[in-house]
Amino acid sequence: MSDSSYMLDVLPDLAAWGLFGLALCSAIEKLVPILPSIALFLMLGMLGVAKPLDLPAVIAVTAAGSTTGSLFWYGMGRWLGPARGDLFVLRMTRRLDIKEEWYLRLKRNYHGHPIRATLFGQLIPVVRAYMALPAGVLAIPAPSFAIATFCGALIWNTPFLVSGYLLRQQILAPDAAAPAAVAAIILVNLLLLALLRFNRPSRSAA
């Protein structure tokens, strides 16, 4: 049995633990990303949301779980430090078949815009699971990292949890659930980018 199949088998048992189980599932997604987060949060929406009033609490605890998992890797990065941390991350990127340039570009983005890079990084599949360790290596301020990670997790988790609930209620067709959630996240991304551009001071005003 593969790791992802095992995770799918135990999800109902963990979800039966209530909010703690849902938080644990979302933390595991960051600690050991063996199951795509899209599938995970769709299933958590189906298993953990019985009625609309459950959604706010489920969204909050899954975002907290995601943030907790990220903070573990962030702390690992701070402990490793720049030299050992860079070596560890580069080994990890080669093992995961991720280009080294991705890490170098992430470092540049973090140096210039740490909060923005963290927030938007949570909205990108794969990247959201692996960016915490480089953030720790680069010693991004922990409060800023935690807040941006939590906000990004809220934006990422919500459409999939809602779609999972709608699937459970047979309001949304199975083949439309994931695309609808992805479309919602893309829309939020576009709105955030527009807001950031609108609030950025122009060079002529400087």
Domain spans in the chain, listed from the N-terminal domain onward: 3-197
Region 129-139: mean pLDDT is 84
165 pLDDT higher than 60: yes
Distance CA 18, CA 95 (A): 35
Whose tokens are 């950025």? That residue is 200
SS3 content of the chain, % helix, strand, coil (to 5): 80, 0, 20
Contacts of 104 (CB under 8 A, 6+ apart): none
What is the value of pTM for the model shown? 0.80
List, for residues 40-51, the tens digit of each pLDDT value: 888 888 888 888
Among the listed ranges 8-12, 36-40, 142-146, which one has the minimum average pLDDT value? 8-12
Average pLDDT over all residues of the chain:
80
